[in-house]
Amino acid sequence: MAARCRFAARFHHVHGANVRLDASRTRATRVESFANGLCFSQEPLAPGQIFLVEIEEKELGWCGHLRVGLTAHDPQSLEVVPEYSLPDLVNMGDTWVFAITRSHNRVTVDGEEAPAWSPPGDPFLLIERVRIPRDTLVGRSRPGRYSHILDDLYKMNVLPATARRSRIGVLYAPQPDGTADMHIVINGEDMGPSARRLPAARPLYAVVDVFASTKSVRVIPVEYGFPSLQTLCRLVIQKHIVHRLAIDGLDLPPPLKSFCQHE
């Protein structure tokens, strides 16, 4: 099973008081304080569909980091967007949100072993019956002399989960009893079922709380099924270069160069 929809790959126009969205509604920036940074997906997620964001900017001086999860509340129905996802939105019920920390994001349940992590070379991340292309899920450093080294660290998921350019996603996987498990994915690694027995029959929106030291995030669209020609070109090019600075010297169209260097 794999979701093939991409309609939720932007933020809802309803958001916290301190959030500013760009024109495409794919980038959310908290412009004041450390709170009132709640954002939601534009549409409810489909089963197995991941809502993926990348940490764009950090802000020193605050304690705490990004928070992500799911809610059965339609953002349009909220009279007032809560100041915090934890505890305010969670206390409204039918909401499951977890704080992303520098480490210890894995979840084990009642003696179960932590889920096995597929090797970095595996092109797909498997979560129960959900199959997601891994390439887009992993953070990428900005082009530079040592970007190829940093990229490997993102692939191995050894950098802090809250590091700039880390990619964090949330999805739900339906269960045989009609409920669903919520999974959080960090740089291509499944953290396990963070919450169980979610009401899969109800619309579930992604929640992204741009909180404290996390100042800005952007939505990363995820391709399901066959990768696009653009993605295939990028993979071939990256196999033949040492680091992404070398792309500047290639005879390629500027849009493809930018895609290979930054996406």
**Chain segment 119-153, per-residue pLDDT in tens:** 556 788 999 888 888 888 988 776 566 566 666 66
Take residue 227 and report the two structure tokens written for it. Answer: 């990768």
| pLDDT recorded at residue 6 | 44
| pLDDT recorded at residue 104 | 61
Mean predicted confidence (pLDDT) in 161-173: 93
pLDDT band for position 103 (cuts 50, 70, 90): low
> Which DSSP string corresponds to 93-156?
SSEEEEE--SS------TTPPPPPPPPTT-SEEEETTEEEESGGGS--PPSSTTHHHHHHHHHH
| pLDDT recorded at residue 240 | 79
Mean predicted confidence (pLDDT) in 20-40: 96
pTM check: above 0.95:
no
| pLDDT recorded at residue 3 | 43
pLDDT band for position 62 (cuts 50, 70, 90): very high
| pLDDT recorded at residue 1 | 45
| pLDDT recorded at residue 112 | 61
Share of the chain above pLDDT 70, in %: 79
| pLDDT recorded at residue 238 | 74
Q: Is the pLDDT of residue 99 over 90?
A: yes
Q: Which residues contact 209 (CB under 8 A, 6 or more apart)?
A: 16, 37, 38, 39, 66, 67, 68, 84, 85, 86, 97
| pLDDT recorded at residue 261 | 63
Q: Is the pLDDT of residue 9 over 80?
A: yes
